Amino acid sequence: MAKNFWTGKRVVVTGGNGFLGKHLVAKIKKKKPKSIFVPKFPEYDLRKYEDCLKVAKKGDVIIHLAANVGGIGYNREFPATLYDDNILMGTYMMMAARTAKVDKYVALATICAYPKFTPVPFKEENLWMGYPEETNAPYGLAKKMQLVQSAAYRQQYGFNSICLFPVNLYGPGDNFDPKSSHVIPALIKKFIDAVEQNQKEVVVWGTGKASREFLYVEDAAEGIAKAAEKYNKSDPVNLGAGFEITIKDLVKLIKKLTGFKGKIIWDKTKPDGQPRRMLDTSRAKKEFGFKSKTSFEEGLKETIKWYEDEINYKQQITKSKQREHKLQISK
């Protein structure tokens, strides 16, 4: 770790109440900065420049995680909203940070910004080789513009901003809402629901041939913190685990770990998304010493356990309320 990087720093984490944000805020708290501020919607609407400026004035270091994001279904339903929200938040937040003379700005982009047919493993220099996969393009390109903005601001103003490209994240606290969840929480929910309801089959989108790479959320938080401490260039940096797994093999693994014994039905009318995804992670290791630590199966077990604990907790709360209701009626 860079010597005393966080000491005396006022840190702002946009999106700090989200899935990744909560893990990152907890990690930075342990490093004992002067303060950590997490702007909350609707008090601060980061699609408005005036609100971004209010937020930026509270920080020496800004880590911009806030995004409107979802899975394939969500991307197909709301492409314009995804583009508008993310281009505005990214542009205005960096613009405000420069105006407020912030010391260090960390922007989070996305693997969705890569071209549809990127050679595997994805290298940072491949980012401009073609158009993203169609369902990802509005979101991916809106986030990718942070990279252009970062380089332009460094060139013209000497503004110290960096841009990281994380692969798909997963882990405890993920979004399990079927309307907007990504593939891992969506599958975990499907299989656990199927086990609880004694279903004989589970329907999964696509052909299973596409591949993905996944980074455990705790590892991602560590990578972002290290980049904030040590990296000071506008060249893009991948954050990933450096492996790929087909959706077919992922489904088999989650089926095994959740104890589902039934049949898997592949709905081939639904899209696969980008054909393959795996990052070259050598730049992150070289520039700021980041390498993921959590094995994929171990990370999945932790995620499944967290979700099962959440279900049990909610069931206990429901039962407790039902008991209270019955007592009130009997009185």
Q: From first to last of its 331 residues, what are the pLDDT tens digits of the chain?
A: 446 899 999 999 999 999 999 999 999 999 999 999 999 999 999 999 999 999 999 999 999 999 999 888 889 999 999 999 999 999 999 999 999 999 999 999 999 999 999 999 999 999 999 999 999 999 999 999 999 999 999 999 999 999 999 999 999 999 999 888 889 999 999 999 999 999 999 999 999 999 999 999 999 999 999 999 999 999 999 999 999 999 999 999 999 999 999 999 999 999 888 888 999 999 999 999 999 999 999 999 999 999 999 999 888 888 777 777 676 776 6
- pTM of the prediction? 0.92
> Which residue in 312, 288, 221, 214 sits closest to 254, CA to CA?
214
d(CA 15, CA 36): 12
| 3-state DSSP of 74-137 | HHHHCHHHHHHHHHHHHHHHHHHHHHCCCCEEEEECCHHHCECCCCCCECHHHCCCCCECCCCH
Q: Which long-range contacts (CB under 8 A, 24 or more apart) does 285-290 make?
A: 287/227, 287/230, 287/231, 287/233, 287/237, 288/226, 288/227, 288/229, 288/230, 288/231, 288/237, 289/226, 289/230, 290/222, 290/223, 290/226, 290/227, 290/239
Question: In the 8-state DSSP scheme, what is residue 160?
Answer: -
Q: b/e for 159-175, b at 16 or more Cβ within 10 A?
A: bbbbbbbbbbbbbbbbb
Tokens at 32, concatenated: 């004992």
Catalytic residue at 49?
no
Cβ-based burial of 195 (10 A; exposed 0-12, middle 13-18, buried ≥19): middle
Tokens at 104, concatenated: 């260090």
State how beta strands 211-212 and 245-246 pair: antiparallel
pLDDT at position 330: 64
pLDDT at position 324: 75
Question: In the 8-state DSSP scheme, what is residue 49?
Answer: H
Residue boundaries of the structural domains of the chain: 10-316
For tokens 């005393």, the residue is 4
> Which residue in 139, 136, 149 sits closest to 97, CA to CA?
149
Q: b/e for 32-67, b at 16 or more Cβ within 10 A?
A: ebeebbbbeeeebebbeeebbbebbebbbbbbbbbb
- Give residues with Cβ within 8 angstroms of 268, minimum separation 6: 206, 207
Q: Is the peptide bond before 138 cis (omega within 30 degrees of 0)?
A: no
Three-state DSSP at 36 gives strand
- With residue 163 as reference, give the H or E element that holds it: strand 161-166
CATH code for residues 10-316: 3.40.50.720
pLDDT at position 1: 43
Which position among 74, 92, 114, 139 bears the catalytic label?
Answer: 139
Phi, psi of 104 (to 5 degrees): -145, 135
**Residue 228 CB-half CA count within 13 A:** 31
